């Protein structure tokens, strides 16, 4: 199962941006092998100190924002 929701895709896009900024963009690779090594080194470094994402908003606060957005979208312009 591969989720296709936008929130999941945003996380993946952010991860690839971090990979690019921290490992790939700064490097000069003579071939694919060097690029693969750089990616593996980035993964190993990232996995040494993993962090858990913690929601800072309550479910109620999120649902209030959703309700406000729905109200705005349903108004006549």
Q: Is residue 47 part of a domain?
A: yes
Domain hosting residue 47, numbered range: 6-73
Residue 24 burial (10 A CB sphere; 0-12, 13-18, 19+): middle
Q: Is residue 48 part of a domain?
A: yes
Q: Is residue 64 part of a domain?
A: yes
Q: Is residue 10 part of a domain?
A: yes
Q: Is residue 32 part of a domain?
A: yes
Instruction: Say what the pLDDT of residue 5 is.
Output: 65
Q: Cα(20)–Cα(66) distance, rounded to whole angstroms?
A: 33
pTM of the model: 0.56
Q: Is residue 1 part of a domain?
A: no
Question: Which residue is associated with the tokens 């941006």?
Answer: 17
Q: Quick one: which of 46, 53, 11 has its CA closest to 3? A: 11
Q: How many domains does the chain have?
A: 1
Q: 8 phi and psi, to 5 degrees?
A: -65, -45
In tens, the pLDDT along 24-63 reads 987 888 899 999 999 999 999 999 988 887 878 888 998 9
């Amino acid at each position: 199962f591969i989720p296709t929701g936008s929130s999941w895709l945003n996380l993946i896009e952010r991860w690839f941006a971090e990979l690019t900024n921290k490992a790939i963009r700064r490097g000069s690779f003579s071939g694919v092998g060097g690029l693969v090594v750089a990616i593996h080194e980035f993964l190993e470094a990232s996995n040494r100190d993993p962090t858990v994402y913690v929601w800072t908003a309550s479910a109620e606060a999120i649902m209030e924002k959703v309700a406000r957005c729905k109200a705005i979208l349903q108004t006549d312009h």
